[in-house]
């Protein structure tokens, strides 16, 4: 969908649909008040009224959307309302529409424009790649959204919103693809495509290279599958004194049966999305490339398929990781942390200013935080605080969990350096405590996105069923403001 920002008088805009957002309890603009009885409108959040102005306006339809109380306004509320609007546009089978940019004294026009563009793009998202019965008349292809603003300040925000949304859409597309169409090599193909488009450097290690270099964690987890594992390095920019290096690490388990510790059949189909961390990292790199951020950003994706077979790793096995530390395998379904052990160790060679990993790691984080927040833990409170602030601004909330020494004691093994499961108690945190053994001394944060990477409940209008692309908006916000928001 093409995004256009215009400063023309909205009453003269010739458009199939003009969207006007109105604050609750405030006087209707004169042009609108002539089209509707005052008692028919309150402006409460999500209230809608479709009007046909005939000759009163150039627009052929006017859609009023309630913005709620002005003092309760947030960019995320506007993002969600934009998604509500775009879904109404699709229902009306329109390809073009215009939206009047709401005015708010405490929300800059650029931030409002960014939220509206993100909400519109993400709210219009559909994943119908594999549907063969969609008729041409049923497929509405949105072509243009025109944002009507008072000046050009909204243009930058609109452009940023479009870039961020494209990154999130890429992450959603990757997450929704089934494992027979997206295996570890498929993630490598996606990384190569990004590298080609934006002039990044990419390295993909196959099984032979992983064996030669000692990636014992990835090889163990991927050893039961005919689809061999991959380790992917995608690099934007170059390290320099004034150019910090940020490593983004993604768990890329393209399907997770649980291995020998096999999962129950119910909902196992969702395990095609166990590469949500990798999808978020690749979607972020797409946005980083489009924005050409003045940072050295290194994406590391540990990709494997966790399958049971005669060559699969087993409970009780001892795995030697890339850094030489050993893992006692208690449960082969705690596989994500094992592949991340190699990737986090690899990240240390860049001497990064920060390492951030994203992983659909534990069901326990759903119990702790529900579907509304990402679990964050790590070795640096300042980095965790930066992440939570970026999440608030981006509309992807994160909450820091403690990573105290007693949790680290829980993952110690009697016969190896660590064990990959410490039981149910504090399971989201002990998973982070396990990863801490491989993160080194650089500032590091672990983001457990298992409760937010997919959904079947549509918690927000811009979040469809299936893969959500969570993490992209947060990471882009964090990276683009890295030098200015400490």
Within 8 A by CB and 6+ apart from 77, the residues are: 45, 67, 68
DSSP 200: -
Catalytic residue among 70, 166, 263, 393: 263
User: Which of helix, strand or coil describes residue 465?
Assistant: coil
The reply to whether 263 belongs to the active site is yes
Within 8 A by CB and 6+ apart from 182, the residues are: 174, 254, 272, 275
Which two structure tokens, joined as six digits, stand for 453? 């990477």
Please state, in angstroms and as integers, the Cα–Cα distance from residue 228 to each residue in 34, 185, 188, 216, 302, following that order. 66, 8, 12, 13, 12
Catalytic residue among 172, 251, 337, 408: 337
Q: How many residues does the chain have?
A: 486
- With b for 16 or more beta-carbon neighbours within 10 A and e for fewer, the 83-93 pattern comes to bbbbebbbeee
Which residues make beta-bridge pairs with 252? 303
Within 8 A by CB and 6+ apart from 241, the residues are: none
With CA atoms as reference, report the closest residue to 440 among 221, 251, 249, 220: 249
Contact status, residue 237 vs residue 210, Cβ threshold 8 Å: no
Contact status, residue 306 vs residue 332, Cβ threshold 8 Å: yes
d(CA 431, CA 368): 13
DSSP 395: T
Task: DSSP for 248-312, please give it.
Answer: EEEEEEEEE--TTSPPPSTTGGGGGGTTHHHHHHHHHHHHHHHHT-SSEEEEEEEEEEE--STTS
Q: CA Rg, the chain, in Å?
A: 24
Q: Which residues are catalytic?
A: 263, 337
């Amino acid at each position: 969908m093409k995004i256009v920002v215009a400063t023309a008088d909205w009453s003269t805009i010739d458009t199939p649909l003009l969207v006007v957002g109105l604050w609750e309890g405030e006087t209707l603009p004169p042009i609108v008040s002539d089209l509707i009885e005052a008692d028919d409108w309150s402006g409460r959040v999500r209230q809608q009224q479709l009007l046909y102005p005939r000759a009163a306006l150039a627009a052929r339809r006017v859609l009023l959307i309630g913005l709620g109380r002005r003092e309760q306004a947030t960019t995320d509320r506007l993002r969600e309302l934009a998604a509500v609007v775009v879904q109404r546009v699709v229902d009306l089978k329109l390809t073009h529409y215009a939206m009047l940019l709401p005015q708010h004294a405490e929300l800059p026009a650029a931030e409002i424009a960014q939220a509206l563009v993100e909400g519109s793009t993400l709210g219009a998202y559909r994943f119908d790649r594999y549907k063969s019965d969609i008729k041409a008349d049923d497929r509405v292809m949105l072509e243009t959204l025109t944002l009507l603003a008072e000046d050009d300040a909204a243009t930058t925000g609109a452009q940023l919103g479009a870039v961020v949304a494209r990154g999130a859409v890429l992450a959603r597309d990757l997450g929704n693809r089934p494992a027979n169409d997206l295996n570890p090599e498929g993630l490598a193909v996606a990384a190569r495509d990004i590298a080609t488009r934006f002039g990044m450097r990419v390295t993909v290690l196959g099984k032979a290279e992983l064996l030669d270099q000692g990636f014992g964690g990835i090889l163990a987890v991927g050893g039961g599958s005919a689809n061999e594992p991959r380790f992917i390095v995608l690099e934007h920019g170059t390290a320099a004194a004034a150019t910090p290096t940020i490593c983004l690490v993604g768990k890329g388990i393209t399907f997770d049966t649980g291995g020998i510790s096999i999962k129950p059949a119910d909902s196992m189909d969702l395990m095609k999305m166990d590469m949500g961390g990798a999808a978020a990292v690749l979607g972020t790199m797409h946005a980083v490339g489009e924005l050409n951020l003045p940072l050295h950003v290194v994406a590391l994706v540990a990709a494997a398929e966790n399958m049971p077979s005669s060559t699969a790793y087993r409970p009780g096995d001892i795995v030697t990781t890339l850094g030489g530390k050993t893992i006692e395998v208690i449960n082969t379904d705690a596989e994500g942390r094992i592949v991340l052990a190699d990737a986090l160790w690899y990240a240390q060679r860049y001497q990064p200013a920060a390492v951030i990993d994203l992983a659909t790691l534990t069901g326990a984080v759903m119990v702790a935080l529900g579907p509304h927040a990402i679990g964050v833990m790590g070795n640096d409170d300042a980095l965790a605080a930066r992440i939570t602030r970026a999440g608030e601004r981006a509309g992807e909330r994160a909450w820091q969990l403690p990573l105290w020494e007693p949790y680290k004691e829980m993952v110690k093994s009697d016969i190896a350096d660590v064990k990959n499961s410490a039981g149910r108690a504090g399971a989201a945190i002990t998973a982070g405590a396990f990863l801490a053994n491989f993160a080194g001394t650089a500032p590091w944060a672990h983001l457990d996105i298992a409760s937010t990477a997919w959904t079947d409940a549509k918690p927000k209008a811009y979040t469809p069923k299936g893969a959500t692309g969570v993490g992209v908006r947060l990471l882009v916000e964090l990276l683009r403001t890295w030098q200015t928001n400490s």
